[in-house]
Chains A and B, each alone.
Chain A
Amino acid sequence: EAGVAQSPRYKIIEKRQSVAFWCNPISGHATLYWYQQILGQGPKLLIQFQNNGVVDDSQLPKDRFSAERLKGVDSTLKIQPAKLEDSAVYLCASSLHQKNIQYFGAGTRLSVL
């Protein structure tokens, strides 16, 4: 069974630029999550989708971050414009349904200069 796929693995941008990350969850998983993991900290949930609907985006900085899962399968997370403090690893996870075990991708490491 293929795992959660994320791309790119690494991205370096300058502040005020835009960036987008892509995630393809495990086939059949209805729930998809985006986390932000700042160096030295645990992952923090940014947004949770159930199929193509948003369940929780309370921690998403909506002035600059956006995410979509239009067809209920893969998802993109966008930052526009980026700030220095956005430097982090962005992790995508999926689960069969809510309250099931979450499976994580390898993440995208973002450096904002």
Chain B
Amino acid sequence: GDSVTQMEGPVTLSEEAFLTINCTYTATGYPSLFWYVQYPGEGLQLLLKATKADDKGSNKGFEATYRKETTSFHLEKGSVQVSDSAVYFCALSDPGNRDDKIIFGKGTRLHILP
């Protein structure tokens, strides 16, 4: 079945460092890919998405490119801030399914030190 694998955390970086959180997926169809972020004490928020190969999703300085050849959707940011500290979830949704079930990875906790 469909699945998402993302790098384990926690990831600890200094402010203004470059961030990469790796994500790979397995899907039978052509899924849509997402990154969600969960700030402390809050629910999940959609950070960015990409719906087809070579699409780049971007938001708040974060980017991720849908790579069909490597089945990857790595999250990047050029200069992180303390306020980026959160848990990041990679996820997919297979539009070939009747419903829009989202399959989440296990999450990667990010700590940014001032």
Q: Interface of A with B (CB < 8 Å)?
A: 3-4, 31, 40-45, 48, 55-56, 91, 93, 95, 98-102, 104-107
Contacts and interface: CB of A to CB of B under 8 A. Distances in A.
A107 B42 CA distance: 7
A91 B43 contact: yes
A45 B44 CA distance: 14
Interface residues of B, number: 20
A102 B102 CA distance: 9
B100 A100 contact: yes
Contacts of B93: 99
User: Interface residues of A: mostly helix, strand, loop or mixed?
Assistant: loop
B99 A42 contact: no
Contact of A42 (B42, B45, B106): B106
Given A105-B43, A106-B41, A106-B43, A43 B100 contact: no
Given A40-B106, A99-B95, A45 B101 contact: yes
Nearest to B100: A99
A95 to B, nearest CB: 7
A11 B91 CA distance: 28
